[in-house]
Amino acid sequence: MTSITTFYLSRIIGKKILDLNGIYLGTVKDLLVDPDPSNYPTGHPVVKGIKTKYKNQISFYSFENFHVEKVNAKLTVFCDQLVELPKDEINTSMYLAEAVLDNQIVDLNGRKLVRVNDVRLVTISSGTFAVAVDIGIEGLLRRIGIVKPLKYVVGLLGGTIPAKFILWEDVETIDFSNLNIKLSKSYAKLQTLHPSDLADIIEDLGRKASAEVFSALDEEKAADVMEELDTEMQVHILESLSIEKAADVLDKMPSDEVADILDALENDKAELLLNEMEKDTSQYVRDLLVYPDHTVGSIMSSEVMSFNRKTTVEEVLRELRDKKPEFETLYNLFVTDDNEVLLATFSIRDVVISSPDVQIEQIMKPSPVHLRDYQKINEVAEIVSKYNLLAIPVVDKKNVLKGMVVIDDVIEDLIKKRRTNK
Under 8 Å between Cβ of 234 and 210:
no
What are the residue ranges spanned by the domains of the chain? 2-170, 193-290, 306-421
Q: Rounded to a whole number, what is the largest CA-CA distance in the chain? A: 94
Radius of gyration of the chain from its Cα atoms, rounded to whole angstroms: 30
> In degrees rounded to 5, what are phi and psi of residue 330?
-85, 0
Q: Which of 33, 51, 50, 55 is nearest to 42 (CA)?
A: 33
Structure confidence at residue 299 (pLDDT): 85
- Residue 395 confidence (pLDDT): 95
Q: How far, in Å, CA of 108 to CA of 170, rounded?
A: 5
If DSSP states are collapsed to H, E and C, what string results for 300-354? CECCCCEECCCCEHHHHHHHHHHHCCCHHHHHCEEEECCCCEEEEEECHHHHHCC
Q: CB–CB of 253/229 below 8 Å?
A: no
- Distance (Å, whole) CA 336 – CA 342: 5
Q: Write down the pLDDT at residue 326.
A: 83
Inter-residue contact 385 to 361 (CB < 8 Å): no
Q: Which of 395, 372, 371 is nearest to 383 (CA)?
A: 371
State the architecture of 2-170 in CATH terms: Roll (2.30)
Q: What is the pLDDT of residues 20-66, one digit of tens each?
A: 899 999 999 999 998 776 677 667 888 999 999 999 999 999 999 99
Q: Which fold has domain 306-421?
A: CBS-domain (3.10.580)
120 has pLDDT over 70? yes
Angle, helices 380-387 vs 407-421, to 10°: value is: 140
Q: Which residues contact 64 (CB under 8 A, 6 or more apart)?
A: 83, 127
pLDDT beyond 70 at 368:
yes
Average pLDDT over residues 235-260: 91
pLDDT for the residue numbered 370: 93
> Is there a shared CATH topology between the 193-290 domain and the 306-421 domain?
no
Indicate the range of 140-154, 160-174, 226-240, 362-376 predicted with least confidence.
140-154
Q: Which amino acid is at 111?
A: R
- Cα–Cα distance list, 250 to 195, 278, 366, 383 (Å): 15, 10, 35, 30
> What's residue 284's pLDDT?
87
Report residue 150's pLDDT band, with 50, 70 and 90 as the boundaries. Answer: low
pLDDT at 232 > cutoff 50: yes
- Which residue type, as a one-letter code, is found at position 203? E
CB-based burial, 179-194: b 16+ in 10 Å, e otherwise: bebeeeebbeebeebe
CA 183 vs. chain centroid, Å, equals 13
8 A C-beta contact, residue 32 and residue 84: no
Q: What is 193-290's CATH superfamily?
A: MgtE N-terminal domain-like (1.25.60.10)
Give CA–CA dist 157/148, Å, rounded: 15
Question: What DSSP state is assigned to residue 359?
Answer: B
pLDDT in tens, 388-420: 888 899 999 999 999 998 877 666 655 555 444
